[in-house]
Amino acid sequence: MESIVSVSASVVPLTSFPSPFKPSMDTPNAAAPMDLAQLVETLERELGRDPELAIKHKPKIQQLLEDFPVNMEELQRFAHFDPSRNYTRNLISTDNETYALMLLCWNRGKYSPIHDHPTDGCWVKVIQGHVNEVRYQKQDDQLVETSNIVLTSGVTYMDDSLGLHKVGNPSQDCDAISMHLYSPPYEKCRVWFDTKDAEKSSVSVANYYTEYGEKVEYA
């Protein structure tokens, strides 16, 4: 097992929700920092470009996320914690076809289960605090840890060709927030709870805690 390294750097279908972000008719000042609406607009454009090109070969996506300045005043409406959960998934924007952009709010010391990615690609940007990513590969009948990093800034990329992973907040003192971009959106993934049994997994439904800043009430 590798040492931890600190680096900077219910089925609810995705129905057609109106995005709160509308394309701007103005050309943004190149010197001005990108706001959230501009990020969404640019991501939609880049994800729709060259559809035959694999997501992993679109480096501008990661660069856009890396360059996006963290403004908690702008992101506050999407940052919702729930002490009864390990973390919450808060939808920022989606077109229901090519992407879903969301904030994940992590309680202290809490993690996701180990999971796969039924998407072409997933990017994670640290917004606040520390985010721990642990990656695994299937080896014989076990899940073997291949990397373990603590992110304090920057963006990381993941897809199934790179293995499985879990993400969480390693701190017992501070909450954490991360921005996740999935392309395309997904409703379910497979999760593992026992690293000694790689063949035993279950299906997890990806519910949103909030959508566009509003709490989702499930029946």
Give the start-to-end residue ranges of the domains of the chain. 5-10+33-215
At residue 50, the pLDDT reads 81
At residue 53, the pLDDT reads 75
Helix, strand, or coil (residue 174): coil
CB 113 within 8 A of CB 190: no
At residue 89, the pLDDT reads 98
CB 134 within 8 A of CB 191: no
* Cis preceding linkage at 69, omega within 30: no
Task: Sort strands 142-151 and 114-115 into parallel, antiparallel or unpaired.
Answer: unpaired
**Of residues 106 and 58, which shows the higher confidence score?**
106
> In this structure, which CATH number among 3.90.230.10, 2.40.110.10, 3.40.50.150, 2.60.120.10 belongs to the domain 5-10+33-215?
2.60.120.10
Is residue 165 marked as binding? yes
At residue 35, the pLDDT reads 96
Give the helix ranges, DSSP H, for the chain: 36-48, 59-67, 72-75
Is residue 130 marked as binding? no
Check whether 23 has a pLDDT greater than 80. no
Which pair of structure tokens corresponds to residue 108?
Answer: 């202290």
Whole-Å CA distances, 67 to 24, 35, 40, 70, 78: 19, 11, 13, 9, 20
At residue 11, the pLDDT reads 29
* Residue tagged 């499930």 (tokens): 218
Check whether 26 has a pLDDT greater than 70. no
Check whether 61 has a pLDDT greater than 60. yes
Check whether 10 has a pLDDT greater than 60. no
Range from 7-11, 110-114, 137-141 carrying the lowest mean pLDDT: 7-11
d(CA 129, CA 177): 7
59 pLDDT band, cuts 50/70/90, is confident
- Residue 146 has, within 13 A of its CA and on its CB side, a CA count of 12
Range from 31-40, 148-157, 205-214 carrying the lowest mean pLDDT: 31-40
219 pLDDT band, cuts 50/70/90, is low
CB 38 within 8 A of CB 92: no
Average pLDDT of the chain to the nearest whole number: 87
- Residue 103 has, within 13 A of its CA and on its CB side, a CA count of 23
Question: Which are the contacts of 211, defined by CB distance < 8 A and separation ≥ 6?
Answer: 17, 90, 91
Query: What would the pLDDT profile of 151-202 be if each residue is shown by its tens digit?
Result: 999 999 999 999 999 999 999 999 999 999 999 999 999 999 999 999 999 9
As separate numbers, helices (DSSP H) first and strands (DSSP E) second, the chain gives 3, 14
Is residue 57 marked as binding? no
22 pLDDT band, cuts 50/70/90, is very low
Query: What would the pLDDT profile of 69-101 be if each residue is shown by its tens digit?
Result: 999 999 999 999 999 999 999 999 999 999 999
At residue 18, the pLDDT reads 41
